[in-house]
């Protein structure tokens, strides 16, 4: 028997203010996108902003509908927009922020399982890792160097 271990590292910043300038700017775009979310059912608004390899920035937010929970997360909204507007273009960095209808947005949140799968496949398709910047409206921020690290043993197109 052989034992494998999969670990990953990420950076923790005590405040988003301490982030490198480019990451802080992208996070601010994600925070702007939070205000465009349509979340009347969950009350949980999420915004995302992606920096593409060509320098373009795409913003998106979660979009719910009456057949809740069948909606789109902010991350998948951005991935769809990037894929449609810039086919084959890599996403270098993706920032994610949120605002609940009640309570504080004072800690980072990570993508849901479906978004992790989508991020992993987008990254594989473009051949480029996607750096994640995760933070609320205040408090700590995380930088994850490669979104694919959030989904070990991913189901990929290679399995089909």
Active site residues: 75
CA 8 to chain centre: 17
- Cα-to-chain-centroid distance, residue 115: 8
Return the residue matching tokens 């609320």.
136
In sequence order, the 6+-apart residues with CB closer than 8 A to the CB of 24 are 16, 17
Rg (C-alpha) for the chain, rounded Å, is 16
Compute the 3-state secondary structure of the chain and give helix, strand, coil in percent, each to the nearest 5.
30, 25, 45
């Amino acid at each position: 028997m052989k034992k494998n271990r999969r670990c990953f590292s990420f950076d923790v910043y005590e405040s988003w203010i301490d982030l490198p300038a480019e990451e802080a700017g992208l996070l601010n775009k994600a925070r702007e996108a939070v205000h465009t979310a349509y979340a009347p059912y969950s009350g949980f608004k999420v915004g995302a902003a992606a920096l593409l390899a060509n320098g373009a920035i795409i913003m998106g937010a979660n979009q719910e509908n009456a057949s809740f929970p069948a909606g789109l997360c902010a991350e998948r909204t951005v991935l769809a927009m990037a894929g449609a507007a810039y086919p084959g273009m890599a996403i270098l960095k993706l920032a994610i922020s949120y605002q609940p209808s009640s309570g504080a947005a004072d800690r980072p949140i990570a993508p849901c399982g479906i978004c992790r799968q989508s991020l992993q496949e987008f990254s594989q398709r473009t051949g480029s890792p996607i750096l994640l910047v995760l933070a609320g409206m205040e408090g700590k921020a995380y930088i994850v160097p490669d979104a694919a690290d959030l989904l070990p043993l991913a189901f990929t197109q290679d399995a089909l």
